[in-house]
Amino acid sequence: MSLYCIGDLQGCNAPFQCLLEKINFSPSRDTLYLLGDLVNRGPDSLGVLRSLSALGDAAHCLLGNHDLHLLALWQGVHHPGRKDTVENVLRAPDCQALMDWLRHRAMALHRHGWLMVHAGVLPQWSAVQALALATEVEQVLRGPDLKGFLSAMYGNAPTQWHDRLEGADRLRVIVNALTRLRFCTQEGVMEFTSSEGASGAPHGYMPWFEVPGRATQGTPMAFGHWSTLAADARTTTGLRHNVLPLDTGCVWGGCLTAARLGLVAGEFELIQVKCEQAQKPA
């Protein structure tokens, strides 16, 4: 039995199938953990969703910002962007079933000693608190007020977590941290305009995983979302901070990366396939 974490697919189904072939994946024996952004920007989001949903309990998928965006488009509470490539999903005869499957995916997981999120966690959140807050969002996504939640989901404020937050503000901060976070201050104030590598932090900010005293620093973490951190997955930078960034820019012509998790938490082996795409980073 092998366990794999896989970075952002973003609609790149052909490379995903190549990766499964390369690792000799068997759904009866192995388990996949997909770190979010399953769809959008790439050419075959529909194929990705059909492939993953067909794997049942052999594939555990997190929700990323692009996946939540697709749910918002499906519910008619947001307009498609010019770079979106999910129209084939919304027009598919099995769209309803796929969206019902998608809305039941997780916002965070803790498996085999690893905390898995799409983007990051705020420095004051422990692993236990991050999972509890993720559950709050999951319950709303699976409940009767899905449309209301998605309508209020967009926005950058509040930029900082407080335990006293309630309602839409509370859920928005949780979603933004788990699916959009790259840089924050030591106090956990989030910044959403920069997408540079770790060395390109705006003045006063730092990568979320470099915040001194981060409550999750003792927990190995795997995440996606930040393709400009690709090199850190293979250098001491990620290891020094006990994190494993796995978005290696497949949709932008990079690689699709899987990490085979070791028996000891924090141990892994990387497997990659090349993914040639016409898209360029925004």
pLDDT digits (tens, 9 = 90+) for 31-73: 999 999 999 999 999 999 999 999 999 999 999 999 999 999 9
**Alpha-carbon 196 to chain mean position:** 17
- pLDDT (tens digit, 9 = 90+) per residue, 227-282? 988 555 445 455 678 999 999 999 999 999 999 998 877 789 999 999 865 444 43
* Predicted pLDDT at 154: 96
Model confidence at 86: pLDDT above 90 = yes
* Predicted pLDDT at 197: 87
**Alpha-carbon 279 to chain mean position:** 20
- pLDDT (tens digit, 9 = 90+) per residue, 94-122? 999 999 999 999 999 999 999 999 999 99
Is-above-0.85 flag for pTM? yes
Tell me whether the omega of the peptide bond preceding residue 15 falls within 30 degrees of 0, making it cis.
Answer: no
Q: Over the range 205-221, which residues count as b (16 or more CB within 10 Å of their CB) and which as e?
A: bbbbbbbeebbbeebbb
- Within 125-206, residue ranges assigned H as helices are 127-141, 146-153, 167-180
Could you give all domains of the chain from N- to C-terminal order, each with its CATH number?
3-274 (3.60.21.10)
Q: In terms of Cα–Cα distance, which of 77, 29, 83, 80 is closest to 57?
A: 29
Identity at 175, one-letter amino acid code: V
If you ran DSSP here, which 8-state letter would residue 62 be given?
Answer: B
Specify the 3-state DSSP secondary structure of 119: coil
